[in-house]
């Protein structure tokens, strides 16, 4: 199982970027499915957050996300 993690930046506040909480994916979704799903989930996220853009995304094994 994988999670999708977005690094997003503010359009309004210049280079103000942060890492969003991971988006859990279905249990049967593998790495390739996560990469494909990133486009769909990214589009949904962008519609809900018009003042931010996605600068980076990563797919990682579930429950390995650690905020630094």
Contacts of 66 (CB under 8 A, 6+ apart): none
| Cα 64 off chain centre by | 14
* pTM greater than 0.85 (yes/no): no
* Between 65 and 44, residue with greater pLDDT: 44
- Of 18, 1, 5, 15, nearest to 58 by C-alpha is 5
Token pair recorded at residue 25:
């994916």
Query: CB of 7 within 8 A of CB of 57?
Result: yes
Per-residue pLDDT of 3-45, as tens digits, reads: 999 999 999 877 789 999 888 888 888 889 998 889 999 999 9
């Amino acid at each position: 199982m994988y999670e999708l993690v977005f690094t997003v930046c503010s359009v309004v506040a210049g280079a103000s970027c942060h890492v969003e909480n991971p988006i859990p994916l279905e249990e049967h979704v593998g790495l390739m499915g996560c990469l494909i799903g990133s486009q769909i989930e990214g589009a949904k996220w962008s519609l809900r957050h018009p003042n931010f853009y996605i600068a980076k995304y990563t797919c990682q094994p579930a429950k390995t996300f650690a905020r630094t």
